[in-house]
């Protein structure tokens, strides 16, 4: 017998957070999320997403044992920005059981319909500003920092319930030893050309971090607004994310572009902290996880280019190419083996062409689905 229950109280929330650890036990590519981070993002009052939107968590029990989980999500900021009536689902994890999947998705659908939604999109956890997409290709290696991972059968379970492709998100692998040398040779020429146009590229100033974050937020919300699924981040959401990223940030991989003192673009690559998190049991920092995290950071040999954007009127000036060249050069100087550029929308022609020119290859593909409800 399958029973779907709303998550209510600390005990069920803990079970919701911990379920993936049971599901993926023994999977060499599974990286546990930090327990405290997952707990906060799912708890009203802990994460700024809950200030403007709502979600309901569900657990599926079969013969009294948890067999799956899902979150139904109403992102009010998304609907207001896009002028739509869409709902989302996320935190979708389960055993390979079609009946469990059907009941979880139906329960989330009913909750969303009750809130006025006419379409169901996902998975997003809980929005495209956090982790998003279902891995559909590239199961042979662990995910990098802030990217998703799931079992291959999830794809069949979703399509069997009528979900269709909304958009694919691409992840590129770029080892430093295969980078097209022209990219690096042009770097200084690009720097001079930009300087001649009064565009300066510099590292982020960590001593003035709060001010830098405010400037970067303006670029983020302007440069990404035409992207599929984009929702502007609130000040609180961006500050929350920035605070988390600051703990692992390497200023040598964080850049801003300025025109006459105004920030017009930024690029950020972060160390692949998943190389360390994969060794932390159930994502818990205490009692020993914190030491694995601190000492493991020194051994990380891969980065993720997590964000790279330029205000529309300054695109095609060479800023994006310079950002990538500078990140690659810094990675080579630090003896880092390479990096992932992700995620890139499949229809982002300029970014995809640029990465292919540098000899990057698509090695993982993620998909966001949709279904009319």
Residues 333 and 285 in one domain: yes
Q: Would 373 be classed as within a structural domain?
A: no
Say whether both 15 and 138 belong to one domain.
yes
Query: Residues 6 or more apart from 106 whose CB is under 8 A from it?
Result: none
Instruction: Indicate if 187 and 110 belong to the same structural domain.
Output: no
Query: In this structure, is residue 125 part of a structural domain?
Result: yes
Residue whose pair of structure tokens reads 């998975």 in the numeric block: 123
> Which residue range is the domain that position 6 belongs to?
2-168
* N-to-C CA span, the chain: 26
Q: Treating both helix axes as pointing N-terminal to C-terminal, what angle do 209-223 and 235-246 enclose, rounded to 10 degrees? A: 120
Burial track 56-82 (b if 16+ CB lie within 10 A, e otherwise): bbbbbbbeeebbbbbbbbbbebbbeee
Looking at the fold, whether 250 and 331 belong to one and the same domain comes out as yes
Among 168, 187, 220, the domain-final residue is 168
Average pLDDT of every residue of the chain: 93
From 193, 168, 82, 97, select the one nearest 342 (Cα to Cα): 168
pLDDT digits (tens, 9 = 90+) for 155-211: 999 999 999 999 999 999 999 999 888 878 888 899 999 999 999 999 999 999 999
Q: Are 169 and 229 in contact (CB under 8 A)?
A: no
199, part of any domain:
yes
The DSSP symbol for 127 reads S
Both 197 and 149 in one domain: the answer is no
Strands 338-345 and 164-175 turn out to be antiparallel
**For residue 365, what is the enclosing H or E element?**
strand 361-372
113 phi and psi angles, rounded to 5 deg: -60, -40
Q: Are residues 291 and 359 in the same domain?
A: yes
CATH of the domain at 74: 3.40.630.30
Cα angle for residues 62, 132, 71 (degrees, 5° grid): 35
CA distance 289 to 277: 9
Question: Is the CB of residue 171 less than 8 Å from the CB of residue 364?
Answer: yes
- Residues 303-338 have pLDDT tens digits of 999 999 999 999 988 999 999 999 999 999 999 999
Residue 138 covered by a domain: yes
Same domain, 178 and 45: no
For residue 372, tell me if it sits in a domain.
no
Closest by CA to 373, choosing from 165, 167, 85, is 85
Judgement on whether residues 109 and 144 belong to the same structural domain of the protein:
yes
Domain boundary (152, 168, 184) is at 168
- The answer to whether residues 120 and 71 belong to one domain is yes
Rounded distance, CA 187 to CA 315, Å?
A: 17
Residues 96 and 210 in one domain: no
Domain boundary (113, 133, 168) is at: 168
pLDDT, tens only, 24-48: 999 999 999 988 899 999 999 999 9
Read off the tokens for 218: 């303006």
Q: Which tens digit of pLDDT belongs to each residue from 93-139? A: 999 999 999 999 999 999 999 999 999 999 999 999 999 999 999 99
Whether residue 150 is found in the same domain as residue 214: no
Give the count of domains, the chain. Answer: 2
- Residues 114, 191, single domain; the answer is no
């Amino acid at each position: 017998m399958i029973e779907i229950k709303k998550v209510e109280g600390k005990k069920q929330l803990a079970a919701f957070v911990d379920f993936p650890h049971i599901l993926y036990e023994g999977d060499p590519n599974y990286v546990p999320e930090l327990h405290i981070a997952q707990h906060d993002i799912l708890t009203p009052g802990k994460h700024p997403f809950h200030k403007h939107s709502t979600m309901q968590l569900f657990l599926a029990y079969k013969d009294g044992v948890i067999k799956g989980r899902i979150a139904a999500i109403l992102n009010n900021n998304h609907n207001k920005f896009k002028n739509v009536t869409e709902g989302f689902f996320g935190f979708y994890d389960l055993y390979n059981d079609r009946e469990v999947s059907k009941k979880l998705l139906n329960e989330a659908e009913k909750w969303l319909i009750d809130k006025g939604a006419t379409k169901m999109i996902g998975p997003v956890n809980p929005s495209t500003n956090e982790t998003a997409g279902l891995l559909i290709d590239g199961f042979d290696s662990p995910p990098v920092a802030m990217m998703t991972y799931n079992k291959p059968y999830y794809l069949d379970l979703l399509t069997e319930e009528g979900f269709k492709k909304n958009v694919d998100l691409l992840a590129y692998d770029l080892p430093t030893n295969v980078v097209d040398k022209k990219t690096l040779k042009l770097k200084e020429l690009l720097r001079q050309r930009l300087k001649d146009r009064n565009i300066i590229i510099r590292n982020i100033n960590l001593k003035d971090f709060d001010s830098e974050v405010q400037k970067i937020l303006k670029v983020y919300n302007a440069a990404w607004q035409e992207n599929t699924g984009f929702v502007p981040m609130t000040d609180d959401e961006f500050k929350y994310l920035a605070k988390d990223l600051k703990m692992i940030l390497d200023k040598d991989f964080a850049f801003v572009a300025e025109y006459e003192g105004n920030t017009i673009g930024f690029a950020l690559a972060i160390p692949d902290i998943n190389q360390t998190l994969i060794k932390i049991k159930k994502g818990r920092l205490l009692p020993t996880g914190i030491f694995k995290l601190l000492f493991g950071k020194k051994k990380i040999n891969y980065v993720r280019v997590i964000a790279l954007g330029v205000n529309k009127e300054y695109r095609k000036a060479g800023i994006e190419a310079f950002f990538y060249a500078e990140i690659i050069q810094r990675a080579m100087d630090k003896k880092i083996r390479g990096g992932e550029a992700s995620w890139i929308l499949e229809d982002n022609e300029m970014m995809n062409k640029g990465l292919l020119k540098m000899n990057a290859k698509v090695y993982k593909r993620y998909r966001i689905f949709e279904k009319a409800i």
